Structures are given as structure tokens and as C-alpha cells.
Amino acid sequence: MFARILRLALNDPRSARLVALVRAVLTPPRGARRIFLALCLGITCHVLFASGVIAMIAAMFFGLSKSFGSVPWPAAGLVNLILIVQFPVVHSVLLTPRGNQFLARLVPGPHGVTLATTTYAIIASAQLLALFTLWTPSGIIWWRAEGDMFWVMTVAYGSSWLILLKASFDAGAEVQSGALGWMSLMARIRPVFPDMPTLGLFRIIRQPIYVAFALTLWTVPVWTPDQLALAVSYTAYCFFAPKLKEARFAVRYGAFFENYREAVPYVIPRFKQKRLVYRNKKTPD
């Protein structure tokens, strides 16, 4: 049974890509400088990524009532607003063609393009870390779950993060975590991006990552004005930002994406799904 499950996992394109990358990294071609650069950026990326995620989970669990920011009020309100805005703005700009060119130039030398996904993840992780560690709490707590309700909300909060983890895996864990860039450089291979995601949660809705992230915002066991401001602003971002992403997909994949968009709802699942019949698939060069 275990062997069968392992075979199925290895045949799944989502895990097969990761296995292929790991194998390539374990036997890298010679090139001490290239390997050193890849490892340095890889370690930086994953340390920042883990730190940003942990800071986000912990800060929102307490409704942003605990953080290290100490800016006096009312100036703290402006600083907190900047912290909220900086992530979606930079996050979206870097996904544009000009943003991709900027990422490719951040690392001097010939490896900037290969490392673009890692550089992007480093920037995004640093932004999240700044948001959730530099936030200045208002000191106002509207509601705190207690007793059985505390455990209900904690389970809901944890489940939201597990859904987000699953959606990220379905979309391509190597890209979402930033591993694709540095691992490709270390193995001296061209980064192979996942195809347009249609497996797992992407069979149910087109934007499971954004929906899962929105769920984490609204399932916290402590509610404050701080958490409400974050939840409202980032939920709006989670609803509107994917439309820009889908516009790029429509150009890149043509009829393939149009068929997928017709069959799979945007963010709210249907009780009865339409059958996915893809045709005229167009993929990037």
C-alpha cells in the first residue's frame, strides 16, 4: 500500500517537479562560485520565508494586539497604513513585465533571471516580516475567544493555514517558496515553471491561494481594530488582484484558460462542477 501511494505521489506532476529538482541539486555540476551564490540566496530566502510566515501566524492569532512596533499615536496609524499598503503594491508591481526585469537585474552577473523567483520570495518574505513585527498595536481588544469557542476558532484558524499550504502545493511549491530559482542555479539548469494549475483545489475554484489567505484573516480568535483593518484591506486585495493575474493567463494560455475559466468558478465553489475539457492549449515559450 505504501509503495503504491509513493508511486502515485512520484507520478503526480506537482511532486515530480520537486523530486527532479532535489535530485539535480544533490549532484550539481562543478562551479564553486555558482554553488555558493545559490546556497547563500537559498538559505536567505527560506529563513526569511519561514520567519515571515511564523510572524504572520503569531501576530494574527493575537489579532495584531502584540508586536514590536512602538510608534506614538496618532503617527502610528500612518505607519501601520504604510505597512499594510506596501505588501500588495510591491507584490503586484513585481509580477508585471517591468517588475520581472527589475528582479532579473537585482542580482549582478549572469544569474539574475534564473534567481528571479528566489529574489521575489526574499522581497515578499521581508515585506511580511516587516508588516507583522513593526506593527504598532492600538491596545484595543474588542473580542477574545474563550472556553470552547477558543478551540473552535483555533481549529478554524489552523485549518485555514492548512488549506493555504495545500493550495500553494497545488500551484507549485517550488515557485511559491522561492526554491525554483536557487535550486535551478545550483543544478545549472533552466528554471521550469509549473504549467497553469488545474489540479487539487484548482479544480474547485480558480483562486484557492487567495481564498485560503482571506480565510486566515477572518478566523482569528482575537479581534481588534488592527485585525479588522488588515482583514478588510487584504480581503479586498485577495478578490481584485487575481483579476490581473487572470488577464495574463488569458494572453498566455488562450483558449485553454478560457475553457478553464468557464468550467471553474472564481472564488465560490459550485455544488455541481462543469466537466473540464481542455482544447487548444497554448503555453509560454
What pLDDT digit, counting tens, does each position of 66-92 carry? 999 999 999 999 999 999 999 999 988
Contact 125, 49 (CB under 8 A): yes
Spatial separation of the C-alpha atoms in residues 214 and 267, rounded to whole Å = 11
Percent over 70 (pLDDT), the chain: 91
pLDDT band at 280 (very low <50, low <70, confident <90, very high): very low
User: What is the pLDDT averaged over residues 243-257?
Assistant: 91
> How much is the pLDDT for 16?
81
- Sorted by sequence, the CB contacts under 8 Å of residue 179 that are 6+ apart come out as 21, 42, 45, 46, 117, 118, 173
* 91-121: pLDDT as tens digits: 889 988 889 899 999 998 899 999 999 999 9
User: What is the pLDDT averaged over residues 155-165?
Assistant: 98
Percent over 90 (pLDDT), the chain: 78
Closest CA to 252 of 22, 72, 34, 95: 95
Spatial separation of the C-alpha atoms in residues 209 and 169, rounded to whole Å = 10
What's the pTM?
Answer: 0.88
Spatial separation of the C-alpha atoms in residues 262 and 267, rounded to whole Å = 13
Written as nine digits, the cell of 257 is: 484558460
The domains of the chain are located at 2-263
Contact 10, 19 (CB under 8 A): yes
CA separation, residue 88 to residues 77, 131, 202, 252 (Å): 18, 11, 22, 23
CA angle 211, 276, 194 (to 5 degrees): 60
